[in-house]
Amino acid sequence: MDIRDIHTPVMLDRCVELLAPALERPGAVLVDATLGMGGHTEAFLERFAGLHVIGLDRDTDALRIAQERLARFAGRVTFVHTVYDDIAEAVTGTGRDGVDGILFDLGVSSLQLDEAERGFAYAQDAPLDMRMDQSAGTTAADVLATYSEGELRRIFERYGEEKLAGRYARAIIAARGTEPIERSGRLVEILTDATPAAVARAGHPAKRVFQALRIEVNAELSVLEHAIPAALRSLHVGGRIVVLSYQSLEDRLVKRALAAASTSTAPAGLPVELPEHAPRFRLLVKGAEQASDDERARNRRAAPVRLRAAERVRPDDAQEIA
């Protein structure tokens, strides 16, 4: 099957529109911090003839597919196998001191969701892996086998915002005492059995637990918390960043980081704002934008998306960004 039939980039036209003023500059460089299967990058390379893209991804399968998809743009794409909180190192590794645009398309990718053996989807029975980079790290099965009841409850509450976190943690501890929980189908059975009938009718009992496990396995929130400030520091003046988030925990982190960067640091009561206190960024959209009704109807994965964007308007203190 053609990769374009299984991967539809979310809010593609809006991303292009917001980043265009920065990418139309001669010699512009874009970091696609979540390259995935290359759908967004392909569109940017087609639209901006002089653009170079640095594409980052921790998933080696995604990088392989993106390299095949973007082969016709040889020489205009640099592929980097890394987690996106290493964005600054990825940029300097190409001999550059900054870039003109940055795109983050957060969360689990179409490739990871659609490949059952990766274990991300609760609707399909598969080994409980959930690693975005299958070459290293702890699996979801490892988490379920080794975390205490309190630790499981913590991640279900914090990363899944699950009201039945304690109940589910107790059920998992009891079940693993009989046999290891190694497959998604078995975990779904445990969660379903532990869910009161009235609650089960409100949605699938595994949804939030699977989200929490995925975030824990991939350290997604801690990575994002470091990645956004690092990305902002990597932008030239006039450079722009666009971030697509798919759940509230991600979006809150992005919102806070962009708000801090676009707010004056002048002490309260100062009669005149000194230049060094002026905001380094300005927000490009009001609040968080959502996909249109038409796009959500065409692409179900666009339904939860929240887009935020900002532009660098002055360099950091004691730093000259050309």
Residue 57 known to bind ligand: yes
| Residues sharing a CB contact under 8 Å with residue 19, sequence separation 6 or more, in sequence order | 30, 44, 101, 103, 240, 242
Sheet holding 52-57, edge to edge: 77-81, 52-57, 29-32, 99-105, 235-245, 306-312, 281-283
Q: Check whether 50 is labelled as a binding-site residue.
A: no
* Nearby residues of 74 by Cβ (< 8 Å), 6 or more positions away: none
Q: What are phi and psi of 169, to 5 degrees?
A: -60, -45
Question: How many Å apart are CA 26 and CA 4, to the nearest integer?
Answer: 29
Residue 95 labelled as part of a binding site = no
The vertex-307 CA angle with 305 and 312, nearest 5°, equals: 160
Instruction: Confirm or deny that 112 is annotated as ligand binding.
Output: yes
Q: ∠ at Cα 67 (62, 72), nearest 5°?
A: 145
| Cα separation, 159 vs 148, whole angstroms | 16
Which residues, at least 6 apart from 149, have a Cβ–Cβ distance to it below 8 Å? 169, 170, 173
| CA gap 277, 112 in Å, rounded | 43
Which residues is 29 bridged to in the sheet? Answer: 52
Cβ neighbours of residue 115 closer than 8 Å, sequence gap 6 or more: 61
38 is in an annotated binding site: yes
The response to whether 40 counts as a known ligand-binding position is yes
Radius of gyration of the chain (CA): 21
3-state class (DSSP) for residue 61: helix
- The answer to whether 105 is a known ligand-binding residue is yes
Tokens of 308: 């935020």
- Known binding residues are 38-40, 57, 84, 105, 112
List, as residue ranges, the binding site for S-adenosyl-L-methionine: 38-40, 57, 84, 105, 112
